[in-house]
Amino acid sequence: MAATFIHTCYRVLDPARSEDFYVNKLGMKKVGEMDLGSATNHFFALEEDPASPMLELTHNHDQTEPYDKGNGYAHVAFTVDDLEATVGDLKDQGVTVTLEPKTLTAEGNDYRIAFIEDPDGYKIELVQRGTMKVGEMYQ
């Protein structure tokens, strides 16, 4: 099977608040929007490239209570150039940091990570670029 990963979808309560977080705090670009009547899908990417994986934020118009994320969801991850500076900047902007930058060791390699939350409580791992040796994407 020849497949391409195209997006991850989160359900959000306040699309404007989420757009502010992903665009102004994480540096993504809003690349599209799709009105489905009872819901609107908002699409974000790190690059304005149709082949770039996207984050789809779905706003179900009648949803008023926070979503139950269950016990199967863990996180998505982004690489950053300077973990400490990024976390400091995000804290200054009021972003919730759930794990301060720390070094972990796995299979003889040290890597630097931190965790933050988006406005709906979805966990996001930040990885210091070049420290996690799992494929080209982390380089």
CB atoms under 10 Å from CB of 23, counted, come to 13
The enclosing H or E element of 87 equals helix 83-92
Put residue 91 in one of left, alpha, beta given phi > 0 → left and psi -120 to 50 → alpha.
Answer: alpha
E-strand spans in 81-132? 97-106, 109-117, 123-128
Q: How far is CA 116 from CA 27, 28, 29, 109, 135, in A?
A: 15, 16, 19, 23, 23
Active site (catalytic) residues: 125
Tell me which amino acid residue 132 is: M
Residue 72 neighbours by CB distance under 10 Å: 5
